[in-house]
A and B are shown apart, each in its own frame.
Chain A
Amino acid sequence: MGEGAAARTASSLLVFVVAAALVVLVAGWGFGVDALVRGRAGLAATMPSTALAFVLVAASLLWIQLGPGGAAPALTAAAVIAIYALASLGGRVFLSLKGFDALAPLGPPALPSDGTSPATSMCFLLASACLVALATGTGVRFLTVCATLGLTAGLIAVTGYAFGAQALYRSQFFTAMGLPTAIGFVALFIAVMLLRPTRGWIGVLIGPGPGSAGARRMAPVVVLTPVVLSAAVLFLRRNGLADPDFRLSLYMVILITILAAAVLRNADLENRTAALLAERAEELTRALQRNQLLLREVYHRVRNNLQQVNALLLIEAGPAPDPQVRAGFDATANRIVALSRVHSIMVSSTDEARLGLGVFLNDLCGVLGRSRVGGPASVRAVVDGDDLMLDVDTAVSLGLLINELIGPDRPDSGDVEVRLTRREARCKVRIVHASEAAAPPPTEASRRIIRALVAQLGGEPNEADVDARTVSLRMARRLPEEQRDV
């Protein structure tokens, strides 16, 4: 049962309580229909004040669940209910058995046992506490305890009526709690717990987990077995069919047998479920391994294909190329290598979709440095500002841009420093060559590539900046949602 179904069930129960209380009040007491106020002739009655209290509590709970909001009406109702319950207890002690209802005699002739029982008053006090907890949104554990106590009291009374009202009447606490009252409390407190269905034992019972499914399987057996067996024992006792000790032994053995069978059946189902889960987990692991293998193969193919592109370019350039053609080819080959290296950094990160800027830049400078003929670690990253996460597209564009700013056509230009300053989504990238002589202005092809990549990264390139190898970017457009500018 989901939260929606629980809420709908709670509403239905509350509507039932309001309607039933009104029927008892109007048809039962107003028109004197004895069966409506007692359930059966001779049993204790549900008093008019009790019916009114039920209407008030259930309507207040409906207000909390469906109303426009505001705790004041529910808190007011809770106060009224609490005062009524306490006064009923006091009235029973100091005035008469009927308490408040002695002040306004109505309906069918009263029996000596008619009145507001202590159990009824206590249940209304618990209902009042539940109202406060629900209206203020606090004390879920307190709410569960109160509702459970109220439900237990109601169930004791209902069970008492089922197995013989006299037994119930011998308990002073429950004396005079009518059958309609008991049923009303059972419905009312179940509804209260369904209004907060994700917490407490009701949350365990109706939850989606395997433990909850097991609890739901066991619940009918656990509840119905004692009821059925007790009814059978009662039948035997009333008809004098078996010795009391034998009845007790029979009851105990059958109860143990049925409950043990239910527990073992549940254990068997749990075992099967666990085995099925293990099998599914193994299948998932195998599928994941297959996918990882496939992914590695794809990456391998991508690198091979990029190498083939380089080969095709070299073949097209010819065996004795013009120096300018050769320089252009070398620059393009270096760009392809840079593209591959950016790709490798992204796929080797823990999150293949995103990577931190600082980590990415350090890795990028490392691989670009190792790719250059000038020797390892000749490209150094300096990042000023908070880190941010890059998506794959941004990382590829930024990596190609930095490669281009360093100068893919000048692999021997010596040590290089990549300085990236970040203020929120604005980034400034500046390339500092150890030797200015080794960093002539970019070629026309390189300028076009830089302009395109800067535009891709939300910046506005100008020629002076490109010559100075300094560009400003605004990467917000390409950042993950949570890191974009407001």
Chain B
Amino acid sequence: MYEAAKVAIVDDDFLIVEYLRAVCQGAGCEVVGVAGDGRAAMAMIEEARPTHVLLDYRLGAGPDGVDVSRYVRARGLDPTVIFITGSTEPETLNRLEAEAPYKVLIKPISPDELTGALRGAA
């Protein structure tokens, strides 16, 4: 089950995208798509149909991670959403928790943390 996870990565920092991709692949997951902004993420997820989405909260201008999560759910898709954020303000965390994600990971994320989250969500 764990090895079969199809992961989509959404982050506006391409260095971090590469990091997440490497950790996911190292954990035996298949990375089925990446996106650097909210609109591209919506299109990518609709097309790639991942089982897991690593979703950064802040995605520059346009829709943020929460908007992407709501869009995906509104389309009837139900991937396991793991939010990623560098913000620890209560307002941000409350907004993320309101989406009932599988987990919220605070940057910086160690490979063990991410692997553990993917393993737990499998």
B99 at interface, CB cutoff 8 A: no
Q: How many A-B residue pairs have CB under 8 A?
A: 84
In the complex, are the beta carbons of A308 and B86 less than 8 A apart? no
Stretch of B29-37, B44-52, B67-75, B102-110 on the interface side:
B102-110
Contact residues in B for A411 (Cβ distance below 8 Å)? 112
Residues from chain A with Cβ under 8 Å of B58 in the complex: 300
B114 nearest CB across to chain A (Å)? 10
Residues of B within 8 A of A301 (CB): 86
- With the chains together, A299 CA to B19 CA distance in Å? 20
Main secondary structure of the interface of A (DSSP, over half): helix
Indicate if the CB atoms of B19 and A310 lie closer than 8 Å.
yes
Is the pair B13, A330 in contact by a Cβ cutoff of 8 Å?
A: no
A336 & B108 in contact (Cβ 8 Å cutoff)? yes
Would A296 and B108 be within 8 Å (CB), given that A311-B15, A312-B15, A315-B22 are in contact? no
The answer to the question of B63 belonging to the interface, with a C-beta cut-off of 8 Å to chain A, is no
Picked from A296, A314, A319, A340, the residue with its CB within 8 Å of the CB of B19 is A314
Segment 335-377 of A: residues with Cβ below 8 Å from B: 336-337, 340, 344, 348, 371-373
B84-122 CB contacts (< 8 Å) to partner A: 86-89, 106-113, 115-116, 119
Q: How many residues of A sit at the interface, in one of the four size bands? A: 20 to 34
Residues of B within 8 A of A (CB): 13, 15-16, 18-19, 22-23, 25, 58, 86-89, 106-113, 115-116, 119
What residues make up the interface of A, taking CB atoms closer than 8 Å to B? Answer: 296, 299-304, 306-312, 314-315, 319, 329-330, 333-334, 336-337, 340, 344, 348, 371-373, 411
A308-B13, A315-B19, A319-B25 known, 20 other contacts, Cβ within 8 Å: A300-B87, A303-B86, A303-B106, A303-B107, A304-B86, A307-B86, A307-B107, A308-B16, A310-B109, A311-B16, A314-B22, A314-B111, A336-B110, A337-B109, A337-B110, A340-B107, A344-B88, A372-B116, A373-B113, A373-B116
7 residue pairs, one from A and one from B, having the closest CB atoms: A311-B19, A303-B86, A373-B116, A306-B108, A307-B108, A303-B107, A337-B110
17 A–B contact pairs at CB < 8 A? A296-B87, A299-B86, A303-B107, A304-B16, A304-B86, A304-B107, A307-B19, A307-B86, A310-B109, A319-B25, A330-B110, A334-B110, A336-B110, A337-B108, A337-B109, A340-B107, A373-B119
